[in-house]
């Protein structure tokens, strides 16, 4: 019974055709009052008062909420929900009904993704979709990720997927100006994740061949939020989180370090303390007693960071105009001092129905990003600045922070930079501006026939500043300071013209599209650098004052792509499905004789559950079998690879040194595309009215014509020429499952995915193997690529423990001794063990960096106004080369070591696993001691949210208020002894991966936030 109520009436329309929608549920929020629209979309309902909120919902449409206010007539237009089951799935250059889909397309649950504390979109994809392996390149703010969709497809070309945002392709290989010594700024970090409406990941040729030369590595289609033809809705959200290091390594404190140094001196002098104690490095008892605990250098460089997100959005519109406007600000202050990332972004999406037949609109995103990177990953030293984590772990705890108590100048310890100087004195910043947008016009020529033309632009500019001062940094000190400044501008223009036809005739449904597309991309870089400054006052701001100033270097890169493509989708009686596509690409990246290529695909599907003989199987909601085959290409190769560029060289002419030019490599006009032939077989199923649904797939992809260096006769004057000579095979099984476990007042749903990938090297041309991996002096050629074997194999010696007697010594490597590591003698020149250890005969495969399987599982529960979810993600069966351990476990104790060095081998401690400490120690090569199981299962996210009851929000004049608390990276279950098992020190390098090399520590984040809609 309604007391002093208001009668409200109106009409609900569909945005597709502005026709009335029948059967729409109209409810008064927070009550049991409700009604349903009639055949014309009309409704009438009594509501308690002006503060009442009407909720309009219908299958296949986005739910809308409207406050009644003083209106007695409330008309509303509902937008199709393109992510709804059995509705519309976004694919390349169009859309298709989910039930008609014959390709392999994974939809990402945006609701689950938005629970993550994230800086960029790609970080949120981890564990969310089958077949998509996401690994952090760097855990530092703004750091990138490595994304592999169904494995590695190229050894030297790009392996990252193509991102398409509202129809605009985004090139991931944008690495800034080259002046920055941190990780390349992640291009996906330019996009505000809160602006995303849905994400579709295209995995097989049926889905990706429409992108031709850029589809080899998969495609990530991103659709941003659009306006609605309803009352204006404003949403403001904010969150604040604190982050600290999740796991740390334990190194020696000052007394322990002194003990280790003295033990090493005793070892080197046959235990004779009288000789050992006379050495300069010997620590006396007085020194031990007075040192205290020394300096904890990890504690000096690590801090408690914070993550902040603020977002305001406005959406709404009228019958002919819809708009979405958002402003977002993200701040991420990292757990290593002075590492940070900030992004301010503005997005505007406009769509207008100018006339009955003509629609126009556009999207615009402006992002301003600033970041301060800390050198951590990949190696120990780079261009005058040491890795912060290397220095923090190796700097002697006995050394003071400053040269003296009266002087605040940072000390330098031998060849290791002062860790605190690296974070407080080194400049390593990037400032970047991105402007991305498009304008479109769509005209309906006839019923079912539309023409759409789109002009898109993507502009990026950045400035990178770097300076390593003379104070506190080793190479900065010996070079008098080193500075760099770089500028970078990139413009990408795309024009797409599409003719789309949709028609249903009886049981026949046809969707066809034909497209002409042209792309132009230009990149311009300027780089200036110098070394040898009088002082550090002006740093990189006055490079001309450097005594060793280089001439500014600038260069331009440009490429173009012209394409013709077509696709047809056909469905008969919702049972028999067929799709075919073809794309003809011409790319300026390739040789004169192979600029053009054709990329076809075909797929078919059978909806078995719609057959008459399946009618009695009431428990079966859907069963669809599909198969696809096609060819896609990879044009992500270095520009001008087919040409013969010139390089300068100095030579003597008439007793004078002059500069000349020579051809630096052989041109190859026959250089062509890397091509991948893909086969996919899938089954989609659904039971119990959709409460259990999922997909299982098997795929096999063969990439041929890999770009590799082919040896040429020495008489040519060159060592090799870039050629198409190799092939790789990827295959695997994928399985995803979604269940609605409970669907009452308490609800519980689960999403699960798992993938079993395999990558096999089929050919390397004339070679049978390539040596790759880490190449520092302590670990050499740690990986091998072999024909007939999986990619990612670690290559080294089998460690058999420690040499205990003189008889063991000949079986050890190099200039070694009792107490050193002993390696297995595998073979020799005669094919049998020869008593000598050599790289040629005794190195074998000792592990593999690729996982046997990976996946993720999400559980989401709700009860009344409470929501709770938790998400686990992991990889299993992969190995890690722990380069950190090789450096800091048993090297010469000139610098600090791990605490495991306290249990190193001595004549009285022969059961030890760590070799004897010695200043004579040789650096060990890759061996099984440093290969560890990298499997892990991580509690990636836990979120608890509370929605204020409707009666409270309505009194406040609000539509919705949500409070939330979340934790990220709370627990990690792993056997790996390093700081974190998620490693990728060499950032997307297909020949060198799975190495842990002084990376930025993983953080654990606890955050709280709120969201208000009115």
What secondary structure does DSSP assign to 610-672, as a single string?
Answer: GSGGGTT-TTEEEEEEEEEEEEEEE--S-TTTTS--EEEEEEEETTEEEEEEEE-S---TT--
**What's the mean pLDDT in 193-207?**
88
**What's the mean pLDDT in 966-995?**
89
CB 816 within 8 A of CB 803: yes
3-class DSSP state of 206: helix
DSSP per position, 955-978: HTT-SEEEEEEEEEEEEEEE---S
Q: Which residue has the tokens 């050499």?
A: 780
Residue 770 to residue 838: CA distance in whole angstroms: 18
CB 681 within 8 A of CB 709: no
**Among 2-16, 119-133, 349-363, 917-931, where is mean pLDDT lowest?**
2-16
Residue 858 to residue 113: CA distance in whole angstroms: 10
Nearest to 378 by CA among 948, 901, 993, 1012: 993
User: Residues near 921 by Cβ (< 8 Å), separated by ≥ 6?
Assistant: 820, 890, 891, 892, 915
pLDDT of residue 814: 61
**What's the mean pLDDT in 563-578?**
93
pLDDT of residue 812: 64
Distance of CA 899 to the CA centre of its chain: 33
Question: Which phi and psi angles does 291 have, rounded to 5°?
Answer: -75, -25
CB 177 within 8 A of CB 464: yes
Topology of the domain comprising 6-78 = Immunoglobulin-like (2.60.40)
Bridge-based pairing of strands 219-224 and 162-165 is parallel
**Number of Cβ within a 10 Å radius of residue 214:** 26
Residue 804 to residue 817: CA distance in whole angstroms: 9
N-terminal to C-terminal alpha carbon distance within the chain: 28
Looking at every residue in the chain, the average pLDDT score rounds to: 86
The larger pLDDT score, comparing residue 233 to residue 172, is at 233
The answer to whether residue 956 scores a pLDDT higher than 90 is no
**Among 97-106, 491-500, 795-804, where is mean pLDDT lowest?**
97-106
Question: What does the CA dihedral 759, 765, 768, 769 come to, rounded to 10 degrees?
Answer: -60
The answer to whether residue 735 scores a pLDDT higher than 70 is yes
- C-alpha angle 464/469/473, rounded to 5°? 110
Residue 29 to residue 57: CA distance in whole angstroms: 12
Question: What is the token pair recorded at 170?
Answer: 């985004």
Topology of the domain comprising 88-224 = Ferric Hydroxamate Uptake Protein; Chain A, domain 1 (2.170.130)
Question: Which phi and psi angles does 412 have, rounded to 5°?
Answer: -120, 135
Residue 509 to residue 946: CA distance in whole angstroms: 45
Burial (CB count <10 Å: 0-12, 13-18, 19+), residue 908: exposed
Nearest to 6 by CA among 56, 45, 54: 45
pLDDT of residue 911: 92
Share of the chain above pLDDT 70, in %: 93
DSSP per position, 415-466: TB--HHHHHHT-EEEEEEEEEEEEEEEEEEEETTEEEEEEEEEEEEEEEEEE
pLDDT of residue 876: 97
- C-alpha angle 689/89/203, rounded to 5°? 105
User: Residues near 338 by Cβ (< 8 Å), separated by ≥ 6?
Assistant: 372, 374, 423, 424
- C-alpha angle 329/334/335, rounded to 5°? 155
Position 1 confidence tier, pLDDT thresholds 50, 70, 90: very low
Residue 784 to residue 86: CA distance in whole angstroms: 47
The answer to whether residue 503 scores a pLDDT higher than 60 is yes
The answer to whether residue 175 scores a pLDDT higher than 50 is no
**Among 788-792, 811-815, 845-849, 876-880, where is mean pLDDT lowest?**
811-815
Residue 315 to residue 345: CA distance in whole angstroms: 16
pLDDT of residue 404: 66
Nearest to 162 by CA among 98, 212, 102: 212
Residue pLDDT, tens place only, 468-501? 888 888 878 888 888 989 998 999 999 999 999 9
**Among 385-399, 425-439, 519-533, 926-940, where is mean pLDDT lowest?**
385-399
pLDDT of residue 534: 87
The answer to whether residue 151 scores a pLDDT higher than 60 is yes
**What residues form DSSP beta bridges with 27?**
34, 55
pLDDT of residue 406: 63
Nearest to 104 by CA among 634, 622, 626: 626
Q: Which residue has the tokens 């089954």?
A: 683
Q: Which residue has the tokens 């500028």?
A: 487
The kind and range of the H/E element at 370 are strand 358-372
Q: Which residue has the tokens 């992002």?
A: 367
Question: Which part of the chain has CATH 2.60.40.1120?
Answer: 6-78
Q: Which residue has the tokens 């037949």?
A: 357
Residue 634 to residue 727: CA distance in whole angstroms: 13
**Among 87-96, 739-748, 836-845, 949-958, where is mean pLDDT lowest?**
87-96
Question: What is the token pair recorded at 878?
Answer: 């992969």
Residue 33 to residue 399: CA distance in whole angstroms: 75
pLDDT of residue 711: 77
The answer to whether residue 931 scores a pLDDT higher than 90 is yes
CB 546 within 8 A of CB 579: no
The larger pLDDT score, comparing residue 662 to residue 4, is at 662
Extended strands (E) in 188-339: 196-202, 219-224, 233-245, 305-317, 321-333
Residue 637 to residue 524: CA distance in whole angstroms: 18
DSSP per position, 574-616: TTEEEEEEEEEEEETTS-TT--EEEEEEEEEEEEGGGSGGGTT
Residue 190 to residue 371: CA distance in whole angstroms: 12
The kind and range of the H/E element at 133 are strand 132-136
Question: Which part of the chain has CATH 2.170.130.10?
Answer: 88-224
pLDDT of residue 955: 84
Residue 581 to residue 601: CA distance in whole angstroms: 5
Q: Which residue has the tokens 């686990």?
A: 872
Position 350 confidence tier, pLDDT thresholds 50, 70, 90: very high
Nearest to 245 by CA among 985, 1011, 995, 978: 978
pLDDT of residue 623: 92
Residue 417 to residue 404: CA distance in whole angstroms: 17
Extended strands (E) in 475-609: 482-505, 508-531, 548-549, 553-572, 576-587, 596-607
Q: Give the gyration radius of the chain's Cα atoms.
A: 32
Query: Edge to edge, what strands does the sheet with 53-57 contain?
Result: 34-36, 25-28, 53-57, 64-67
The answer to whether residue 642 scores a pLDDT higher than 90 is no
The answer to whether residue 381 scores a pLDDT higher than 50 is no
pLDDT of residue 935: 97
Question: What is the token pair recorded at 933?
Answer: 């199981």
**What residues form DSSP beta bridges with 757?**
732
Share of the chain above pLDDT 90, in %: 40
**Among 81-90, 330-339, 382-391, 851-860, where is mean pLDDT lowest?**
81-90
SS (HEC) of 751-784? EEEEEEEEEEEEEECCECEEEECCCCCCCCCCEE
The DSSP call for residue 687 is E
């Amino acid at each position: 019974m309604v007391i002093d109520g208001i009668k409200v009436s109106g009409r609900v329309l569909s945005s597709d055709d502005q026709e009335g929608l029948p059967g729409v549920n109209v409810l008064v929020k927070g009550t049991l009052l409700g009604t349903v629209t009639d055949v014309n979309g009309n409704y009438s309902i009594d509501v308690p008062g002006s503060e009442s909120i009407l909720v309009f919902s219908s299958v296949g449409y986005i739910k809308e909420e409207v406050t009644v206010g003083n209106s007695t007539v409330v008309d509303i237009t509902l937008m199709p929900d393109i992510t709804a089951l059995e509705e519309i799935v976004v694919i390349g250059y169009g859309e298709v009904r989910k039930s008609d889909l014959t390709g392999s397309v994974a939809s990402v649950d945006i609701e689950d993704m938005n629970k993550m504390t994230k800086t960029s979109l790609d970080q949120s994809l981890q564990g969310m979709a089958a077949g998509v392996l996401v690994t952090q390149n760097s855990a530092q703010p703004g750091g990138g990720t490595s994304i592999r969709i169904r494995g590695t497809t190229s050894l030297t070309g790009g392996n990252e997927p193509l991102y398409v945002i509202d129809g605009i392709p985004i090139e991931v290989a944008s690495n800034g100006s080259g002046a920055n010594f941190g990780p390349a700024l992640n291009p996906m970090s330019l996009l505000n994740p809160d602006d995303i409406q849905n994400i579709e990941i295209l995995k097989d040729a049926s889905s990706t061949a429409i992108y031709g030369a850029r589809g080899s590595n998969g495609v990530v289609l991103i659709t941003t939020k659009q306006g609605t033809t309803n009352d204006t809705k404003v949403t403001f959200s904010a969150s604040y989180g604190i982050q600290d290091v999740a796991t740390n390594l334990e190194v020696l404190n000052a007394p322990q370090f002194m003990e280790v140094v003295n033990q090493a001196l005793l070892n080197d002098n046959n235990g004779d303390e009288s000789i050992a104690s006379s050495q300069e490095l010997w620590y006396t008892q007085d020194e031990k007693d007075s040192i205290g605990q020394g300096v904890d250098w990890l504690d000096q460089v690590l801090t408690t960071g914070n993550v902040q997100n603020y977002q305001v959005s406005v959406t709404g519109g009228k019958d002919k105009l819809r708009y979405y406007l958002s402003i977002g600000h993200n701040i991420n202050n990292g757990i290593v001092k002075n590492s940070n990332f900030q992004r301010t972004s503005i997005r505007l999406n406009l769509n207008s129905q100018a006339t009955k037949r003509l629609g126009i609109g556009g999207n615009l995103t402006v992002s301003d990003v600033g970041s301060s990177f800390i050198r951590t990953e990949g190696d120990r030293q780079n261009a005058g600045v040491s890795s912060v984590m290397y220095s923090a772990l190796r700097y002697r705890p006995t050394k003071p922070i400053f040269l003296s108590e009266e002087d605040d100048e940072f000390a330098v310890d031998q060849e290791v930079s002062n860790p605190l100087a690296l974070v407080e004195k080194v400049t390593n910043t990037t400032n970047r501006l991105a402007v991305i947008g498009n304008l479109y016009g769509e005209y309906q020529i006839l019923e079912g026939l539309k023409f759409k033309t789109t002009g898109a632009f993507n502009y990026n500019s950045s400035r990178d500043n770097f300076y390593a001062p003379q104070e506190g940094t080793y190479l900065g000190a010996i070079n008098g300071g080193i500075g760099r400044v770089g500028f970078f501008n990139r413009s990408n223009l795309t024009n797409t013209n599409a003719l789309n036809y949709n028609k249903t005739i009886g049981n026949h449904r046809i969707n066809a599209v034909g497209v002409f597309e042209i792309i132009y991309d230009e990149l311009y870089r300027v780089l200036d650098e110098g070394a040898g400054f009088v002082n550090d006052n002006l740093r990189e701001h006055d490079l001309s004052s450097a005594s060793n100033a280089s001439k500014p270097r600038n260069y331009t890169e440009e490429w173009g792509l012209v394409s013709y493509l077509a696709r047809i989708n056909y469905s008969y009686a919702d049972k028999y499905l067929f799709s075919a596509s073809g794309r003809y690409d011409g790319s300026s990246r390739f040789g004169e004789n192979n600029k053009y290529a054709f990329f076809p695909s075909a797929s078919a599907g059978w909806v078995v559950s719609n057959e008459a003989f399946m009618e009695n199987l009431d428990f079966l909601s859907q069963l669809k079998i599909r198969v696809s085959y096609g060819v896609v290409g990879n044009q992500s190769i270095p520009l001008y690879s087919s040409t013969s560029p010139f390089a300068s060289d100095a030579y003597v002419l008439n007793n004078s040194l002059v500069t000349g030019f020579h051809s630096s490599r052989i041109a190859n006009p026959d250089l062509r595309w890397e091509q991948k032939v893909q086969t996919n077989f899938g089954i989609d199923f659904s039971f119990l009215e959709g409460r259990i649904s999922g997909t299982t797939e098997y795929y096999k992809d063969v990439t041929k014509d890999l770009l590799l260096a082919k040896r040429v006769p020495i008489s040519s004057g060159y060592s090799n020429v870039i050629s198409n000579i190799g092939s790789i095979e990827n295959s695997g099984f994928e399985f995803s499952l979604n269940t609605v476990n409970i669907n009452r007042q308490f609800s519980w749903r689960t999403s699960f995915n798992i993938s079993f990938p395999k990558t096999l090297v089929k050919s390397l041309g004339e070679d049978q193997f390539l040596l790759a991996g880490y190449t520092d002096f302590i670990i050499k050629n740690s990986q091998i690529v072999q024909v007939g074997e999986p990619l990612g194999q670690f290559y080294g010696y089998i460690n058999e423990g420690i040499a205990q007697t003189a008889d063991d010594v000949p079986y050890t490597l190099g200039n070694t001794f009792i107490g050193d590591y002993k390696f297995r003698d595998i073979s020799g020149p005669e094919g049998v063990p020869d008593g000598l250890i050599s790289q040629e005969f005794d190195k074998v495969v000792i592990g593999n960096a690729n996982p046997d399987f990976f996946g993720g599982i999400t559980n989401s529960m709700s009860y009344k106004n409470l929501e709770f979810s938790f998400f686990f993600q992991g990889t299993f069966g992969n190995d890690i080369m722990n380069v950190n351990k090789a450096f800091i476990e048993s090297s010469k104790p000139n610098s600090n070591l791990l605490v495991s060095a306290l249990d190193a081998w001595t004549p009285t401690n022969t059961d030890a696993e760590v070799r004897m400490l010695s200043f004579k120690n040789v650096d060990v090569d890759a061996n099984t001691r440093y290969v560890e199981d990298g499997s892990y299962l991580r509690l990636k996210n836990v979120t608890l949210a509370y929605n204020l009851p409707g009666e409270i929000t309505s009194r406040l004049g609000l539509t919705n208020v949500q409070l939330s608390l979340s934790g990220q990276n709370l627990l990690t279950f792993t056997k790996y002894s390093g700081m974190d098992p998620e490693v990728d020190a060499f950032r997307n390098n297909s020949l060198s991966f799975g190495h842990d090399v002084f990376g930025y520590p993983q953080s654990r984040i606890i955050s709280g936030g709120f969201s208000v809609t009115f």
